[in-house]
């Protein structure tokens, strides 16, 4: 067997992320080995400690929702009409697809079906059109299997974000490890956003360091500070 991969993806076949991007350019990484303290808290300050499983295999739909809390009040200067104020949010990602046994992210979530409390808490990285968000999360409504006898098993659950999310202090880079679909996370604090952007887009590297897997690590001028966009995993 060759020491290095001898092929690469055909140039021009990756999504550039501009115009009307397809949903697969977004990425969800779940820490499948989280350290949860007795208060149910997880650390968002050090992402290097996570074992980040890419949630993608068997997944065909991800739907975000804000679940806003609102206050509706009528005041004397409103002429009899009511004003609405958004006083809070509870962001969730509804995930669904088909059960893929052996996929690290799916296996981790499916194992939470019988569990509750601190056991169903973890942390997630959600990269939406290149912009990374880091959050504490609870895994809810886990449906590990189901469906007709002659159909693929269904799979669904909800990622409920807990508390105020964070963004990396620098450029987040997710790098594929030697274990399939498991990534390491690192933040390059030397990379700063430019004057028009407060967030630096993340890089998702689909090659194991020291190898040549033919991954697409692109650079685009539309990216803040000229940094790389996530790869398309294709």
pLDDT in tens, 104-160: 999 999 999 999 999 999 999 999 999 999 999 999 999 999 999 999 999 999 999
Assess contact for 212 and 5: CB atoms under 8 A.
Answer: yes
Residue (of 200, 177, 217) closest to 29 by Cα position: 177
pLDDT at 234: 46
pLDDT, tens digit, for every residue of 8-60?
Answer: 888 888 877 678 999 999 999 999 999 999 999 999 999 999 999 999 999 99
- Count CB atoms within 10 A of the CB of residue 199: 15
How much is the pTM? 0.86
**Residues 56, 52: Cα–Cα separation, whole Å:** 12
Q: Which residues contact 164 (CB under 8 A, 6 or more apart)?
A: none
118 close to 40: Cβ distance less than 8 angstroms: yes
């Amino acid at each position: 067997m060759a020491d290095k991969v001898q092929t690469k993806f055909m140039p021009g076949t990756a999504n550039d992320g501009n115009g009307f991007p397809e949903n697969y350019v977004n990425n969800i990484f779940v820490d499948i080995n989280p350290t949860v303290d007795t208060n149910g808290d997880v650390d968002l300050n050090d992402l290097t400690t996570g074992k980040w499983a890419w949630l993608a295999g068997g997944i065909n739909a991800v739907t975000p929702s804000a679940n806003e809390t609102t206050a509706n009040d009528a005041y004397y200067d409103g002429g009899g009409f009511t004003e609405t104020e958004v006083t809070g949010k509870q962001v969730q990602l509804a995930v669904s697809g088909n059960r893929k046994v052996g996929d690290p992210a799916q296996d981790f979530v499916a194992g939470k079906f019988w569990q509750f409390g601190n056991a169903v808490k973890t942390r997630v990285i959600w990269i939406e059109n290149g912009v990374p968000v880091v959050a504490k999360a609870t895994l809810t409504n886990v449906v590990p299997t189901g469906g007709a006898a002659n159909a693929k098993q269904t799979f669904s659950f909800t990622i409920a974000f807990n508390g105020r999310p964070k963004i990396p202090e620098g450029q987040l880079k997710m790098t594929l490890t030697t274990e399939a679909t498991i990534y390491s996370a690192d933040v390059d604090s030397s990379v700063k956003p430019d004057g028009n952007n407060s967030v630096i887009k993340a890089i998702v590297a689909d090659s194991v360091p020291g190898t040549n897997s033919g991954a697409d690590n692109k650079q685009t001028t539309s990216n803040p500070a000229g940094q790389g966009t996530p790869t398309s995993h294709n």
